[in-house]
């Protein structure tokens, strides 16, 4: 991991080279992009909330604040499930992103930044004639604090407690509500690292960024995910590239390696070659290149409408599925780890470590067959000197990209064979690729 080298102060070579190129390219405009006030605060064109780490002084304090409120917060919230699934470590040191999903009954479920559902309050399901608790489900910590008198003496086990991991459904929307943020990202990248933008051009574009004008296909489009323009990668990355296009500039925006946009800005690169910012989502530093050649396949007139829709969505689905698989795996491992650590600290009078682990896994709501599998794999991993919770997880089905923002369908169901074929919480992840711009 590069993180380790970076944290200890030994920067990897590519960071030193990129850092020098960033310093050489970073603009220091005399005033804010949108007004005549001094530019006096760091602006992350690609937000820190999704893992962006490249910033420049291009906005005044007022416009920095209004941009955050009007554009960045919605953008970050939209992509929070992916930030969570990839456990993206952000510049301020936090990892993942808490967000609210819904369970199958439509009730809100908070997904914690560690990637598993927040423990719900205790839910008393049965009481005896005296009003004492016969059966309840809920947070073990909460049950521990119950006064002994609250429990019915007639309950079979007094209280059957389990930590609930409710299934969760959520949608990542890529539609006209996101395109103003994409325009902002492209424009701020240009203004930060390519060239100054005339004030009248920036203020006109601000009308679209702020939502006053619709972001139609004249400015932002969602092209086919062509491998020559939007190369595949794992770990996933964000990538912004500005290419000269006559008296315009084409900025390609790739988010999470899966979501591709092209933005056509009415500003010239004045003979310079392509400029690229790459943020590998497992790295603590931005990569930066200049003189990036324009790929032949980059075509502003490439629109979703000219493609067969199955062909258009196929590469997007494939790349989203990989993120989903990764998210499922880390969510299941987080629950196994939690169970194992609790088992390690439990008193030895409750059997050996594997018996206690089995019991804790049951409390994590794994099914009996899964518990047997997880313990079996854990014992093998332990013999190999590995962490017992680092189990392989395979999803057999991926969520279908939903077509509308409202859709909560597309939650994955999976069969159980092989290592551990099961989606855990957060589940569903119907990443929405619908409503492509520029049709
Ligand atoms: Zn300003």
CA atoms within 13 A on the CB side of 31: 7
Angle at CA of residue 284, ends 282 and 285, nearest 5°: 115
Distance (Å, whole) CA 276 – CA 234:
18
Residues contacting 108, CB < 8 A, separation 6+: 100, 101, 102
pLDDT digit string, tens, across residues 266-302: 999 999 999 999 999 999 999 999 999 999 999 999 8
Q: Would you say how long the chain is, in residues?
A: 439
How many angstroms does the Cα of residue 66 sit away from the middle of ligand 1? 9
pLDDT digit string, tens, across residues 385-412: 999 999 887 665 544 443 323 223 333 3
How many angstroms does the Cα of residue 55 sit away from the middle of ligand 1? 16
Q: Around ion ligand 1, which residues have CB less than 5 A away?
A: 32, 34-35, 37, 60, 63
Distance (Å, whole) CA 119 – CA 105:
17
pLDDT number for residue 398 = 47
How many angstroms does the Cα of residue 273 sit away from the middle of ligand 1? 29
How many angstroms does the Cα of residue 65 sit away from the middle of ligand 1? 10
Torsion angle (degrees, nearest 10) of CA 264, 268, 274, 276: -60
How many angstroms does the Cα of residue 178 sit away from the middle of ligand 1? 22
pTM exceeds 0.85:
no
> Which of 106-110, 292-296, 413-417 ranks highest by mean pLDDT?
292-296
Residue 338 phi, psi (nearest 5): -60, -45
Q: How far is C-alpha 419 from the chain's CA centre?
A: 26
How many angstroms does the Cα of residue 248 sit away from the middle of ligand 1? 24
How many angstroms does the Cα of residue 210 sit away from the middle of ligand 1? 14
Instruction: Record the tokens describing residue 144, joined without a space.
Output: 């521990």
pLDDT digit string, tens, across residues 174-197: 677 788 999 999 999 999 999 999
Residues contacting 241, CB < 8 A, separation 6+: 251, 252, 274, 275, 276, 277, 292
Residue 370 phi, psi (nearest 5): -70, -40
Nearest CA to 51 out of 401, 287, 327 is that of 287
State how far the alpha carbon of 130 is from the alpha carbons of 126, 144, 148, 159, 161, in Å.
Answer: 11, 21, 14, 15, 20
Q: How far is C-alpha 85 from the chain's CA centre?
A: 6
Nearest CA to 63 out of 45, 86, 87, 85 is that of 45
Instruction: Record the tokens describing residue 119, joined without a space.
Output: 């423990």
How many angstroms does the Cα of residue 266 sit away from the middle of ligand 1? 20
How many angstroms does the Cα of residue 174 sit away from the middle of ligand 1? 28
How many angstroms does the Cα of residue 68 sit away from the middle of ligand 1? 13
How many angstroms does the Cα of residue 48 sit away from the middle of ligand 1? 20
CA atoms within 13 A on the CB side of 261: 32
How many angstroms does the Cα of residue 40 sit away from the middle of ligand 1? 9
**Arithmetic mean of pLDDT over the chain:** 79
Torsion angle (degrees, nearest 10) of CA 273, 201, 39, 94: -70
């Amino acid at each position: 991991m590069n993180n380790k080298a970076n944290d200890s102060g030994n920067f990897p070579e590519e960071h030193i080279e990129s850092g020098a190129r960033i310093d050489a390219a970073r603009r220091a405009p005399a005033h804010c992009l949108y007004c005549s006030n001094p530019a006096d605060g760091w602006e992350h064109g690609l937000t820190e909330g999704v893992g962006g780490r490249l910033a420049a002084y291009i906005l005044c304090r007022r416009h920095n604040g209004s941009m955050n409120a009007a554009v960045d917060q919605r953008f970050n919230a939209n992509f929070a499930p992916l930030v969570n699934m990839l456990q993206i470590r952000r510049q301020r040191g936090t990892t993942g992103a808490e967000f609210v999903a819904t369970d199958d009954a439509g009730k809100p479920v908070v997904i914690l930044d560690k990637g598993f559902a927040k423990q719900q309050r205790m839910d008393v399901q049965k009481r005896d004639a005296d009003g004492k608790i016969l059966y309840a489900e809920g947070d073990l910590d909460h049950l521990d604090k119950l006064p002994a008198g609250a429990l019915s003496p007639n309950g079979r086990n007094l209280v059957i407690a389990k930590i609930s991991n409710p299934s969760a459904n959520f949608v990542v929307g890529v539609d006209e509500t996101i395109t103003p943020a994409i325009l902002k990202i492209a424009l701020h990248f240009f203004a930060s690292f390519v060239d100054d933008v005339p004030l009248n051009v920036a203020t006109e574009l601000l009308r679209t960024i702020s939502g006053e004008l619709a972001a139609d296909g004249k400015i932002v489009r969602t092209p086919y995910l062509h491998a020559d323009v939007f190369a595949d990668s794992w770990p996933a990355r964000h990538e912004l590239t500005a290419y000269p296009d006559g008296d315009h500039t084409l900025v390609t925006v790739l988010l999470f390696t899966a979501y591709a946009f092209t933005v056509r800005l009415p500003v010239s690169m004045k003979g310079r070659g392509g400029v690229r910012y790459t943020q590998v989502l497992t790295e603590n530093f931005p990569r930066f290149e200049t003189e990036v050649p324009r790929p032949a396949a980059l075509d502003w007139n490439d629109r979703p409408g000219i493609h067969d829709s199955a062909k258009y969505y196929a590469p997007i689905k494939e790349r989203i599925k990989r993120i989903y698989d990764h998210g499922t795996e880390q969510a299941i491992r987080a629950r196994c780890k939690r169970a194992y650590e609790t088992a390690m600290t439990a008193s030895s009078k409750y059997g050996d470590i594997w018996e206690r682990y089995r019991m804790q896994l049951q409390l994590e709501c794994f099914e009996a067959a899964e518990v047997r599998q997880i313990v079996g794999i854990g014992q093998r991993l332990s013999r190999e000197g590995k962490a017992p919770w680092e189990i392989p997880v395979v999803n057999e089905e991926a969520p279908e990209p939903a077509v509308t923002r409202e859709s909560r369908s597309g939650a994955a169901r999976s069969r159980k064979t092989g290592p551990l074929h099961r989606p855990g919480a957060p589940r569903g992840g119907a990443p929405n690729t619908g409503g492509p711009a520029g049709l």
